[in-house]
């Protein structure tokens, strides 16, 4: 794996926590800015400036860092912010990730743009981990809330939905016209799902906050980073997610 030392590669600001982790692990020398939500690796170092959140980045602060490249995502970041960066002459790379295969392809594209090895060891391990996934038993019908007050669930065409499908979860709302539909709790219950999958992000569902809304239905509490991040976490995600899903049915 090629390690990019400070000053050797482009100056990069990442507006996506998943991509921040991937870049920091593969080419730590290139990152000069990241969002407040970029929590992995735990220590990005004093040279990485925080530029607020994914939905409200501090554009002037980003420009002050003189980046050669800003990496973003079409779902996580707002087009007006990206347009403002482009108007100031900054190269903005926008990813689109709605399936596992797209994640692998986009990660290679981002790492290549950062001057790093586009196929580092951790990415090869992740590909193998998902390729070697045992065939799932009969799919279990599930609803997958991602927010409450109001209740929102995974709908069609989502990265998290694709991961769950590979793990034997049949998302009740996979055919919904919206990607993240708002659905009243009574309607969620009326589907009589075999399981409810509750990630701890973006809404932090816990054993005390979420399962009580679905009495009598097994609830799988899953690590949101394993379910929604595309980066080094993909290497361990299939094992950890499968274990959480199995635990809900014990």
My answer on whether 89 and 144 are in the same domain is: no
pLDDT, tens digit only, all 250 positions of the chain? 344 454 567 999 999 999 999 999 999 899 999 999 999 999 898 899 999 999 999 999 999 999 999 999 999 999 999 999 999 999 999 999 999 999 999 999 999 999 999 999 999 999 999 999 887 767 899 999 999 999 999 999 999 999 999 999 999 999 999 999 999 999 999 999 999 999 999 999 999 999 999 999 999 999 999 999 999 999 999 999 999 999 887 6
pLDDT at residue 3, rounded to an integer: 45
Distance CA 39, CA 42 (A): 6
My answer on whether 106 and 207 are in the same domain is: no
Secondary structure letter of residue 76 according to DSSP: T
In-domain check, residue 128: no
pLDDT at residue 1, rounded to an integer: 38
Tokens, residue 180: 């993240």
Tokens, residue 149: 């007050």
CA angle 20, 26, 30 (to 5 degrees): 65
Of the residues 95, 119, 143, the one at which a domain ends = 119
Domain range for 215 is 134-247
Of the residues 119, 148, 163, the one at which a domain ends = 119
H or E segment at 198?
Answer: strand 195-199
Nearest to 172 by CA among 153, 159, 186: 153
Distance CA 230, CA 150 (A): 26
3-state percent helix, strand, coil for the chain, nearest multiple of 5: 35, 15, 50
In-domain check, residue 108: yes
Strand, coil or helix: what is 43?
Answer: coil
pLDDT at residue 8, rounded to an integer: 65
In-domain check, residue 60: yes
- CB-CB neighbours of 240 under 10 Å: 15
In-domain check, residue 5: no
């Amino acid at each position: 794996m090629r390690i990019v030392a400070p000053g050797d590669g482009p100056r990069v600001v990442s507006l996506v926590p998943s991509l921040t982790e991937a870049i920091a692990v593969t080419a730590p020398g290139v990152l000069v800015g990241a969002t407040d939500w970029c929590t992995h690796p735990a220590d990005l170092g004093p040279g990485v400036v925080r530029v607020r959140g994914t939905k409200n980045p501090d554009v002037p602060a980003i420009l002050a860092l003189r980046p050669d490249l800003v990496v973003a995502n079409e779902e996580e970041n707002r087009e007006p912010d990206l347009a403002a960066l482009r108007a100031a002459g900054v190269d903005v790379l926008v990813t689109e990730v709605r399936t596992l295969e797209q994640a692998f392809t986009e990660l290679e594209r981002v790492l290549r743009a950062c001057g790093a090895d586009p196929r580092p060891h951790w990415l090869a391990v992740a590909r193998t981990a998902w390729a070697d996934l045992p065939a799932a038993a009969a799919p279990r019908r599930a609803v997958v809330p991602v927010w409450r007050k109001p209740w929102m669930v995974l709908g069609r065409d989502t990265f998290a939905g694709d991961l769950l499908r590979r793990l034997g979860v049949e998302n009740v709302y996979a055919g919904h016209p919206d990607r993240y539909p708002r659905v009243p709790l009574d309607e969620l219950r009326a589907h009589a799902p075999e399981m409810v999958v509750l990630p701890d992000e973006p809404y932090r569902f816990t054993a005390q906050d979420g399962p009580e809304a679905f009495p009598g239905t097994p609830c799988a509490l899953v690590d949101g980073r394993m379910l929604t991040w595309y980066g080094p976490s993909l290497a361990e995600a299939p094992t950890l997610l499968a274990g959480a899903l199995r635990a809900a049915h014990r």
